Structure 1
Amino acid sequence: MKTWKGYQKGVNLGGWFSQCDYSEDRFNNFITEDDFKELTSWGLDHLRLPVDYNLVETEDGQYKEEGFARIKRALELGHKYGFNMILDLHKTAGYSFDPGEKQSGFFGNEALQERFYRLWEEFAKRFGGYGDKVAFELLNEVVDKEDGAVWAEIAPKCVERIRAYAPTTDILIGGYWHNSVQAVRDIPMPMDEHIIYNFHSYDPLLFTHQGAQWVDDMPADYHMEFKGSMEDFCAYAKAHLPAKLAGTLSILDYKGNLDSAYFEDLFADAIAVAKERNVALYCGEYGVIENADPANTVLWYKAIHEVFAKYGIGRAAWSYKEMDFDLRADRLKPVFAELKKYF
């Protein structure tokens, strides 16, 4: 299993060029050079930059030079302050991981797929010359397993199109179920030696998303801890959550304690696949919602970090600022010195 050098410890710049109101004020002021300076004290080697297609494309597919210029400036600010950068296409025309975005049709529409390929060719032409300082992430979070087979055809085609302009740029490919670690085995075989297998981990979801308003049936005032046995964790959830939501835990086979052993078990098959295929693993998003108790947030980060570090899995925490997972939040200041050890 490879280790992806230069991309071991990172943070997401979520909400800047994606999942936002796309206003000039947002683009100009949400993250500034001062934030890049601040991040130099966090012990990181890279940053993940999510961007939506409408930053750089009109609705009819015309390119917007000002959007590409913003990406270029962000990449160069990252390099100025010593960070490698991941350019993540968070949303493409016809597809978003968030149903509220009302983007649909991508997986059944060859014209939208061709538009996706052309956009990546454009990114490759413009940003493929940065060498190993910039990596490309094809698409954030394919949701439905039913789309997995089509995605397994689209991703290699896109890599081939990129390679005409960026032959050695590292490219991240994820699976279905929101880039679930359980979907890593179904990611296509690596097309070349510069492919990275990507997954996200907000496990167990009932802890990391406690009180999340976008989770169906989740009470806004729900709180729980990350400690003890999985049996106790499940019992608490069943006693305090609607049956349908608590029932999502029934798919978990793990019976041990909530510590690094949980993540060791959860990641085991993905690690085996990475070893079999001699490919690096990368966790592009992981984190704990701001509703969680800060001390328990630290426990969760410590547990997942131990497995990342043991197997050389690169990662980027979600997210630097706001986005319901704010790592700069006042609530975390008393524990931040400890927390940032586990990015």
Structure 2
Amino acid sequence: MRFVITRSFHRFRLLAVFALLALGAGSALAEVPAVVQSKLSRGINLSFWFANRDNPKIEPRLFWPDRSDLAQLRSIGFRHVRIPLERAWIADPRDPSKIDPAHADEFARAVELVAANQLLAVVTLTTTTDDLDRMLTDKPWRDTVAALWWSLARQLSARVPADKLVFEVINEPATENAAASVALMQTLAGAVRDAAPRHTIVVAGHKYSSVDELVTLKPFLDTNLVYSFHFYEPMNFTHQGAWWGWPMWAKLRGLPYPSTEALVAPLLASLDADAQPHARYYGQQEWNRGKLAAILDKVAQWQAQNGVPVWCSEFGAVKTNTAPASRQAWLRDTRTLLEQRRIPWTHFDFSQHMGIVDGAQGERVWDRGALEALGLGAPRSN
């Protein structure tokens, strides 16, 4: 059965279960076009370009890429960019099942600019925790978002061909309920598939789409899907200094990678008393290349068992509270471990707390140590 829609009271209504994407046996790896798989090999997240548009702290010249930035990204070796797109911003405020015409055109022109710079664009729908919870628990709202996706995918696929554009239906469906997450993925992916039959679609596991969630996912029947995961292990290292999430992260700083109890011990006196046990335990865990490899082996095994393509769509480390040498060592180990397992990757992020650039458009300062750790070339001089 195909995705069927009709107009009623000036909005799209979903009328069918997306049997096309019902759970079942995995599909062959070759079903995802070879050119898409090649371009997914290494990429960068552009996290603040079309998300947080109402946040006055997101100054465009600092956080948005321009034409020169995109050309630079391609020249140093990136093959794709991942663009989170905020649901509330792209939706028509009068009817959330439709796209806002002006915003949709602005976004389409940005995707066309990416394609013009020979980069694959991966469009990723993102939203608030409350909105995600509503999608997961409220079927009419889930159908409304699917109708929005249908309209967006139809417009974008008409302007950008399948070898230059991929659709990722939702970013991090933050729920413990794996079945609800699968239902959301199926509904949204079904809408996209009907609107864009030839374009590749990305789905992921529940919660924060980590390795453990990926390996519990049963592949769908659709043959042109990529399965993504995020990798931030160990979180106390990659998120030290983070002002979001667990409050303890903001109190951690200077944790080394690799870690041993002896390396961490001199740092303890400089940390808040309540942070010291967490830092001490991090040292005792002895995080190193072998420990990261054991986690990523789970992904390689799952991929081999199911015969479907996987992709690490986020990995990175906060640079504010981390010694550059430790951050570069972690990036190098993670990147090379992914490549050894033939898992494509996307660094998080372009700018800001995990970024590879500082400064405004036209005055970028590139993190050459991070670029080297990612196996990329040196940026051209401005």
8 Å contact 1:189–1:277 — kept in the other structure?
yes
Q: 1:168 aligns with which of 198, 209, 213?
A: 198
1:6 and 2:42 are equivalent in the alignment? no
8 Å contact 2:251–2:272 — kept in the other structure?
no
Distance 1:73 1:245 in 2: 49
Residues 275-284 or 327-336, more deviating: 327-336
Q: 2:81 aligns with which of 47, 50, 53?
A: 47
Distance 1:275 1:326 in 2: 32
CA separation of 1:132 and 1:217: change in aligned 2, threshold 3 A: same
Q: 1:84 aligns with which of 103, 120, 144?
A: 120
Query: Which string of whole-angstrom CA distances, capped at 9 and with x for unpartnered residues, describes residues 143-170 of structure 1?
Result: 232x321111221232222222212311
CA separation of 1:235 and 1:143: change in aligned 2, threshold 3 A: farther
- The equivalences for 1:239-250 within 5 A come to none
- The equivalences for 1:74-113 within 5 A come to 74-91=110-127, 96-97=128-129, 104-113=133-142
1:31 and 2:60 are equivalent in the alignment? no
Amino acid at match of 1:74: A
1:119 and 2:144 are equivalent in the alignment? no
Q: 1:141 aligns with which of 149, 168, 172?
A: 172
**1:220 Cα offset (Å):** 3.9
Q: Counterpart in 2 of 1:200?
A: 230
Q: SS at 2:38's partner residue?
A: coil
Q: Counterpart in 2 of 1:303?
A: 333
CA separation of 1:245 and 1:17: change in aligned 2, threshold 3 A: farther
8 Å contact 1:117–1:161 — kept in the other structure?
yes
**1:27 Cα offset (Å):** 6.2
Distance 1:241 1:280 in 2: 44
**1:335 Cα offset (Å):** 1.9
8 Å contact 2:257–2:287 — kept in the other structure?
no
Distance 1:270 1:249 in 2: 29
**1:277 Cα offset (Å):** 1.1
1:132 and 2:173 are equivalent in the alignment? no
8 Å contact 2:296–2:338 — kept in the other structure?
no
Aligned length: 329
Distance 2:205 2:303 in 1: 14
Query: Which string of whole-angstrom CA distances, capped at 9 and with x for unpartnered residues, describes residues 225-271 of structure 1?
Result: 11144x66887899857668956998x9x966512x22221122222
**1:339 Cα offset (Å):** 2.9
CA separation of 1:55 and 1:27: change in aligned 2, threshold 3 A: farther
Q: SS at 2:105's partner residue?
A: helix
Q: 2:189 aligns with which of 159, 163, 171?
A: 159
**1:28 Cα offset (Å):** 8.2
CA separation of 1:241 and 1:187: change in aligned 2, threshold 3 A: farther
CA separation of 1:162 and 1:258: change in aligned 2, threshold 3 A: same
Amino acid at match of 2:213: A
Q: 1:18 aligns with which of 45, 51, 54?
A: 51
Q: CA RMSD in A?
A: 3.2
The alignment-based identity, stated in percent, is 19
1:72 and 2:108 are equivalent in the alignment? yes
8 Å contact 1:142–1:148 — kept in the other structure?
no
**1:172 Cα offset (Å):** 0.9
**1:171 Cα offset (Å):** 1.0
Q: Counterpart in 2 of 1:218?
A: 249
Unaligned runs of 5+ in 2: 1-27, 360-364, 378-382
Q: Counterpart in 2 of 1:285?
A: 314
**1:9 Cα offset (Å):** 0.4
Q: SS at 2:203's partner residue?
A: strand
Amino acid at match of 1:156: Q
Distance 2:173 2:65 in 1: 27
Residues 14-23 or 237-246, more deviating: 237-246
Larger Rg: 2
Q: SS at 1:198's partner residue?
A: strand
8 Å contact 1:211–1:223 — kept in the other structure?
no
Distance 1:288 1:206 in 2: 10
8 Å contact 1:216–1:245 — kept in the other structure?
no
Distance 2:307 2:250 in 1: 43
